[in-house]
Structures are given as C-alpha cells and as structure tokens.
C-alpha cells in the first residue's frame, strides 16, 4: 500500500489539509460546550466535534507514520503555527457575523449551523469519493468518516430549514449567516498544487468535480428553508496555502497552550 | 525479559482459545453489560502473519472519536500481559465498524439494560442518494426497552455518548437511550 507513485510530501500535505479542516472546525464548535441554546444541542455539537477530532487524529497518525522518526499525531496538532495549517478559512472564522481583530461579538447559532451545513455538504461526497483513494489507509479513514459526515449534514440541514423557514427574526439571521459565509466556499473549488498532485497520483479527489452535487444540495436545502442562495464573490481564499485570517492564531493559541506550556507532560 | 523469539513455540489453537476466553471477559467501558466481542470490536485473534510465535489481537474503533477506544486498547493489552503471552494489538479501520456486527446476545443485553438496540443498517443511504430532506421519511420505530411500546419519539439525535440518541416512550413516559444504527 506504500508502493505509490506519489511524493510523500504531497500525500502529507493532502492528509494534513483534511485533518486540519476537521481539527479547526472541531475546536470552533467546542466553544458551544456548556453554552449551547438547549442541552440537546450542546451535546449534539460536542458529539460532532468528537467525531471531527477522531477524524483529525486518524489523519495525523497516518502522517506521522509516513514521516517516521519521533513524529506523533500531537506533533501536527500542537506544534505547528497558523501558517502551517492547511484548512479552509471558512472553518476558522468565529461563530459570529463578521468582525475585525479583537472586536467581540455574540456567538451566533445560525452562523455555526450554516457553516456546518456548507462544510458537511462538501464532505459527504468528498469522503464518498475518497473511499476509492489509491492510498489504502486514506480510503479506510474515508469510509469511517463518511458515516459521521452524513449525520452532521442531516443535523445541520434540519437547523438551516428550521431557522430559515422560521420567524422573521430567525429567517433574517440565517440569511445573514449565509451572506457572510458563502464567499469563503470559493476556496473549495480553487485547487492547490498539492491537491492537483494528489489527484494525479490517484490518492486525492478532484474537488471541482463535486461542485455540482454540492450546489444541488445547497440550492435544495436553502429553497426548502425559504432562503436565497447568496453570491460567493468577494473573497480571495488562500487558507490551503497557509494564508489565514487573523482568527486562526487565536484559535490555535487556545488549542495549543497546555501542550506548549508543559511540553511532553504525561498524566 | 522475553526469551529470544526462536525459542518460542508457534501459536497454537489451545493458546488462541485461552486468549479468546480471557478477552471474552472484557466489557465496553461505557456500557458495562456488553463485552467487546459482543460489540464486534474484537475482530480477530490469530497468529501474527509475520511472526507465528506472536498472538495478534485485531480491534476496530467504533466512532472515530470514541473516547472509550484508548481504554479498550489498554484493557486488551493488560489482559494479554496478565496471561503472559507474547502478543500485540493491531487497530484495523477497514472495513468500518457497523452496529450490524453486534451479536443478538448483545442486543438482548442492551435492551435489558434499558438501551434500545440499533436496527439494521440496510437502509443506510448509498452513494449519491439524497439524505437530507427535512420532511423526513418516518424513522424506523424504536420500541421502548422498558415497556415494549412502539409509541416512542426521538428527543435528540445526539445523546450521552457518540453512539446513542435520546428517545422517549409516549406510553410509559420514560426517557431512554437508543443505540444508533451506524
């Protein structure tokens, strides 16, 4: 399964991209733990974050195995800085409407669920396709993650419809959430060098080919939610290349502080 | 210290049976009424392909992020160590774990414990199928594990652990956990 005509560095970047997506969104959604709107939804988001952390761990473990030496999954989660993360910018944004720098905003349930919806609507067909990856460990991770992504998509799309087709207030806020987030989805479709190389080697999936099914899912669900599909223009996405918003380093600061304050600690 | 490998006899059926019997005692850390074998977590106990003197225990994770997995692996290792056999634990992802691997015995134990066991996954959507209609197809009814009533409702799709959803019986009014088909 290692006899692949693919550079380890390409495979590594591709796996890190998938793992970083999962880890960053998990950390973002964990912020609802203890402050969710109702207990059941608090649990729902915590459970989904657990799934995503599990996916990130499997991917990081595989990277560590490929790299050999002293690398472990923790190397990638705790000891890389923002510019080394390959996640979509969409996933690192705060759970609130746009704000700048230190400005504080209330966490917004609509933004959280709109983001989960846009992301899992991509991940369901992506994991589906990755089950055929030429890199057997990635195919196995995809088959596991797919089952979880389907649950996440169902949860998020139900909320999109409930809030979009709800009161005037919930409708307006859900629409504002999509207006805010949609431009960041452009990043799904602009492929990077490592993605192109991974596709060529049969390891990765050409995400551009998933655009039509993604669009269909988004249009059908937003129509059901009586929401307008907003324009995705107005953002230059480079998260996959390590160019992130100012929000990622704050997020990582929180995620990494214990590991960095007590390197190698055991309990 | 373990003696050199070449001094050990190859793994035989009697040894595998001993390991099997010892592992059969191990229970799920979060649902202590079912064993790891019942759950389909222990996939194989065999002689390692690359070392016939070493027992290989193959386990598979349930949910990617299930926090019980580390405990399960530790429990298996500790049991093997207690037996004093030369062994290793391998985690295997493919094919992915499904609740369809749970034994009938496990389902009965779950029910007795107050957890509605999972239905079959046969209706899991296949590639390309639309899964997210809001007006849902009626989910398969889940009988109340206490009174057997079929009049039940889903309270929350996510429950106390990753593998469970929260339901309520409309006849006896008791809330109960449902082990989700996965």
pLDDT bucket at A266, cuts 50 / 70 / 90: confident
pTM of this structure: 0.87
Closest chain B CA to residue A48: B162
pLDDT bucket at A236, cuts 50 / 70 / 90: confident
Q: Convert the pLDDT of each residue in A44-74 to its tens digit.
A: 999 999 999 999 999 999 999 999 999 999 9
In this complex, is the C-beta atom of B82 within 8 Å of any C-beta atom belonging to chain A? no
Of A43, A148, A267, which to mutate for an interface test with B (greatest number of B Cβ within 10 Å)?
Answer: A43
In this complex, is the C-beta atom of A140 within 8 Å of any C-beta atom belonging to chain B? yes
Q: What is the Cα–Cα distance from A10 to A204, expressed in whole angstroms?
A: 10
Give the residue-averaged pLDDT of A227-248.
92
Which chain B residues contact residue A140 at CB under 8 A?
93-94, 96
**Could A40 and B166 be called an inter-chain contact, meaning their C-beta atoms sit closer than 8 Å?**
yes
Top-confidence residue, B133 or A42: A42
**Could A44 and B158 be called an inter-chain contact, meaning their C-beta atoms sit closer than 8 Å?**
yes
**Could B158 and A47 be called an inter-chain contact, meaning their C-beta atoms sit closer than 8 Å?**
yes
**Could B66 and A148 be called an inter-chain contact, meaning their C-beta atoms sit closer than 8 Å?**
no
A95 domain-assigned: yes
Of B72, B97, B131, B158, which to mutate for an interface test with A (greatest number of A Cβ within 10 Å)?
Answer: B158
The count of domains in chain A is 1
Residues near A252 by beta carbon (within 8 Å), at least 6 away in sequence: A81, A82, A85
3-class secondary structure for B54-116? EEEEEECCCCCCCCHHHHHHHHHHHHHHHHCCCEEEEECCCCCCCHHHCCHHHHHHHHHHCEE
Nearest to A131 by CA among A204, A63, A76: A204
**Could A54 and B156 be called an inter-chain contact, meaning their C-beta atoms sit closer than 8 Å?**
no
Q: Convert the pLDDT of each residue in A83-101 to its tens digit.
A: 999 999 999 999 988 866 5
Is the pLDDT at A214 greater than 70? The verdict is yes
pLDDT bucket at A199, cuts 50 / 70 / 90: very high
Q: What is the Cα–Cα distance from A89 to A103, expressed in whole angstroms?
A: 18
Segments forming the whole domain that contains residue A28 = 8-261
Q: What is the pLDDT of residue A76?
A: 97
Q: With pLDDT > 90 as the criterion, what percentage of chain A qualifies?
A: 84
Give the residue-averaged pLDDT of A149-174.
95
Alpha carbon of A244 to those of A48, A118, A128, B104: distances in Å? 24, 19, 28, 51
Dihedral sign for Cα atoms in the order A10, A16, A22, A25: negative
Which chain B residues contact residue A51 at CB under 8 A?
63-65, 162
Angle, CA of B89, A139 and B46, to the nearest 5°: 25
**Could A136 and B94 be called an inter-chain contact, meaning their C-beta atoms sit closer than 8 Å?**
yes
Q: Convert the pLDDT of each residue in B9-44 to its tens digit.
A: 888 899 999 999 999 999 998 889 999 988 999 999
Closest chain B CA to residue A117: B132
Is the pLDDT at A1 greater than 60? The verdict is no
In this complex, is the C-beta atom of B7 within 8 Å of any C-beta atom belonging to chain A? no
pLDDT bucket at B127, cuts 50 / 70 / 90: very low
Which chain B residues contact residue A157 at CB under 8 A?
132, 134
Q: What is the CATH number of the domain that holds A134?
A: 1.20.1260.10
Residues near B16 by beta carbon (within 8 Å), at least 6 away in sequence: B45, B46, B47, B55
Is the pLDDT at B2 greater than 70? The verdict is no
A266 domain-assigned: no
Top-confidence residue, B53 or B159: B53
pLDDT bucket at A172, cuts 50 / 70 / 90: very high
Q: What is the Cα–Cα distance from B59 to B62, expressed in whole angstroms?
A: 10
| Sequence ranges of the domains in chain B | 5-91, 102-120+139-179
**Could B158 and A50 be called an inter-chain contact, meaning their C-beta atoms sit closer than 8 Å?**
no
How big is chain A by its Cα radius of gyration, in Å?
A: 18
In this complex, is the C-beta atom of A74 within 8 Å of any C-beta atom belonging to chain B? no
CA of B15 vs chain A CAs: smallest distance (Å): 31
Per CATH, the homologous superfamily of domain B5-91 is Fe-S cluster assembly (FSCA) (3.30.300.130)
Q: What is the pLDDT of residue A3?
A: 47
Nearest to A171 by CA among A220, A127, A226: A226
Residue B176: strand pairing partners: B167
ipTM confidence: 0.76
Q: A247: exposed, middle or buried (C-beta count within 10 Å: 0-12, 13-18, 19+)?
A: middle
Q: What is the pLDDT of residue B10?
A: 86
**Could B63 and A54 be called an inter-chain contact, meaning their C-beta atoms sit closer than 8 Å?**
yes
Q: Convert the pLDDT of each residue in A116-160 to its tens digit.
A: 999 999 999 999 999 999 999 999 999 999 999 999 999 999 999
pLDDT mean across residues, chain B: 85
């Amino acid at each position: 399964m290692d006899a692949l005509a693919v550079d380890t560095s390409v495979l590594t970047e591709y796996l890190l991209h998938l793992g970083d997506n999962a880890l960053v969104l998990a950390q973002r959604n964990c912020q609802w733990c203890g402050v969710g709107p109702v207990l059941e939804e608090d649990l729902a988001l915590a459970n989904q974050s657990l799934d995503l952390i599990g996916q990130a761990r499997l991917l990081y473990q595989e990277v560590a195995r490929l790299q050999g030496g002293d690398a472990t999954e923790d190397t990638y989660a705790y000891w890389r800085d923002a510019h080394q993360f390959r996640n979509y910018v969409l996933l690192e944004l705060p759970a609130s409407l746009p704000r700048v720098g230190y400005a504080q905003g209330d966490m917004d349930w609509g933004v959280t669920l709109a983001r989960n919806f846009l992301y899992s609507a991509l991940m369901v067909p992506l994991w589906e396709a990755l089950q055929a990856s030429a890199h057997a460990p990635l195919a196995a991770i995809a088959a596991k993650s797919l089952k979880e992504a389907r649950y996440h998509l169902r949860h998020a799309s139900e909320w999109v419809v409930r809030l979009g087709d709800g009161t005037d207030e919930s409708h307006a806020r859900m629409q504002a959430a999509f207006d805010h987030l949609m431009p960041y989805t452009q990043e799904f479709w602009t492929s990077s060098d490592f993605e192109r190389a991974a596709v060529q080697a049969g390891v990765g999936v050409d995400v551009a080919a998933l655009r039509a099914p993604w669009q269909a899912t988004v249009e059908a669900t937003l129509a059901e939610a009586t929401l307008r599909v907003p324009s995705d223009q107005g953002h230059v996405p480079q998260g996959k290349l390590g160019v992130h918003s100012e929000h990622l380093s704050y997020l990582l600061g929180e995620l990494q502080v214990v590991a960095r304050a007590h390197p190698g600690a055991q309990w | 210290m373990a003696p050199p490998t070449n001094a050990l006899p190859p793994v035989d059926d009697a040894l595998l049976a001993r390991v099997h019997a010892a592992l059969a005692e191990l229970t799920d850390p979060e649902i202590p009424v079912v064993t790891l074998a019942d759950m389909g977590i222990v996939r194989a106990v065999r002689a390692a392909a690359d070392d016939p003197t070493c027992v290989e225990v193959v386990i598979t994770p349930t949910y990617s992020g299930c926090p019980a997995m580390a405990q399960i692996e530790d429990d298996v290792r500790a049991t093997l160590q207690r037996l004093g056999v030369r062994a290793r634990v391998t985690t295997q992802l493919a094919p992915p774990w499904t609740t369809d691997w749970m034994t009938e015995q496990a389902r009965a134990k779950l029910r007795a414990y107050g957890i509605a066991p999972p239905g079959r996954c046969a209706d899991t959507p296949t590639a390309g199928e639309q899964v997210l209609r809001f007006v849902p197809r009626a989910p398969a009814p889940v009988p109340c594990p206490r009174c057997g009533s079929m009049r039940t409702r889903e309270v929350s799709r996510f429950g106390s652990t990753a593998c469970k959803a929260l339901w309520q019986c409309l006849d006896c009014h008791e809330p109960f956990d449902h082990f989700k088909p996965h």
